[in-house]
Amino acid sequence: MAEISFENLLSTGAHFGHVTRKWHPEYSPYILMEKNGIHIINLDETLGKLDKALTFIGDVAKKNGEILFVGTKKQARDIIQQEADRCGMFYVVERWLGGTLTNYSTIKKSIKRLQQLEKEGSNIYENLTKKEIQMLNRERIKLADQHRGIKDMKRLPDVVVIVDANHEITAVQEARLLEIPVVGIVDTNTNPNSVDYPIPANDDSIRTIQLIISAISDEILSAGDKENIPENEEAKTQENVDEILDVSAGENGKAEHASEEEIESTDKIEEDIKAPEVKVVDKDVKKEASKKKTVKKKIETTEEAESK
């Protein structure tokens, strides 16, 4: 992820605020000066607040938290939808429906209705007139536009990222009521204390919105990659251990087989060594027996001769 520098913010016009008569008194810590009737935002404060917001979002993304991007103003719609799709998060770019967070059970029913209307071969369209089918199609299109970014959201988000907290005041109030952290781009006409992680910048500049929202999206993606790295390393180390164990087991098996073969060979050698000795003993015994026979014959012959 490319880090945002002072020059990047300056080139996008992030330092331009509203005219002085529209400023919010709580915004004074983030104002650098006044020039030609316009407040100039201190970009050093912008960088510091942006780093804190990115750190917080990265921690949430590492825990598989869900993030909701909100930007219904014309300058932010396409950017919010594109960046939210890129990082796999949810978004609201059409009109914010009151109760989207505080009355989420009703929103879920509406989403379920949309899924039934979008389902192919649904029984809803059976035995209906042409006019009734057209009415259902209009309802489907309307619900699809309203819920296209949160259709797959199964629960309330862990963080809400908002462009222009003053314009999206209803979303901010609902999130604060449910104690959901809010990260928001705030201009000089907005109370920065209304959000948990304010990012002071020009919220009317398309390039500024693109720069900040893309940085948030990159942080979410990088946090997801960092989370997968240790798992991959553990898998690799486990594979290495298994390979080492397999090799060692094979060597031990070879050693055992070799030792058995050696034992068998030694037994054969001993048998070969002992066998000749046994044969030699047998020959000696035969020789002795033959000698005894010859001696007996001689004795017998001598006795016969004497008797005659």
Give, as one character, the DSSP assignment of residue 162: E
Contacts of 159 (CB under 8 A, 6+ apart): 56, 57, 60, 65, 66, 67, 68, 180, 181, 182, 183
What's phi and psi for 197, nearest 5 deg?
A: -130, 85
Q: Is the pLDDT of residue 234 over 80?
A: no
The one-letter code for the residue type at 89 is M
Q: Is the pLDDT of residue 277 over 60?
A: no
Q: Give Cα 278 distance to the centre of its chain.
A: 78
C-beta of residue 57 within 8 angstroms of C-beta of residue 216: yes
Q: Is the pLDDT of residue 35 over 60?
A: yes
Give 147-167 pLDDT, tens digit per residue.
888 988 889 999 999 999 999
Phi-psi region of 5 (alpha: psi -120 to 50; beta: other; left: phi over 0): beta
Give 114-154 pLDDT, tens digit per residue.
888 888 666 777 778 888 888 988 988 888 888 888 988 88
Give CA separation, 146 vs 95, 103, 115, 126, 180, in Å: 7, 15, 13, 26, 22
What pLDDT is recorded for position 144? 86
Contacts of 108 (CB under 8 A, 6+ apart): none
In percent, how much of the chain has pLDDT > 90? 47
**HEC-encoded secondary structure of 29-45:** HHEEEEECCEEEECHHH
C-beta of residue 157 within 8 angstroms of C-beta of residue 180: yes
What pLDDT is recorded for position 302? 52
**What pTM value is reported for the model?**
0.69
What are the CB-based long-range contacts (under 8 Å, 24+) for 95-101? 95/146, 96/70, 96/72, 96/168, 96/170, 96/171, 97/146, 98/170, 99/174, 100/150, 100/171, 100/174, 101/156, 101/160, 101/171, 101/174, 101/175, 101/177, 101/178, 101/180
What pLDDT is recorded for position 261? 47
Least confident of 36-40, 267-271, 287-291: 267-271
The pair of structure tokens assigned to 281 is: 């003993």
Cα separation, 75 vs 185, whole angstroms: 13
What pLDDT is recorded for position 44? 92
The mean pLDDT value of the chain amounts to: 79
Please give the residue that has the higher pLDDT: either 258 or 227: 227
**HEC-encoded secondary structure of 272-288:** HHHHHHHHHHHHHHHHH
- Does the 6-227 domain belong in CATH 3.40.50.620? no
Q: Is the pLDDT of residue 226 over 60?
A: yes
Give 190-213 pLDDT, tens digit per residue.
999 999 999 999 999 999 999 999
Domain ranges in the chain are 6-227
What pLDDT is recorded for position 124? 76
Enumerate the H helices of the chain as residue ranges.
6-12, 43-62, 77-87, 104-118, 130-147, 169-177, 206-307
Q: Is the pLDDT of residue 265 over 80?
A: no
Phi-psi region of 36 (alpha: psi -120 to 50; beta: other; left: phi over 0): left
C-alpha closest to that of 90 among 29, 14, 149 = 149
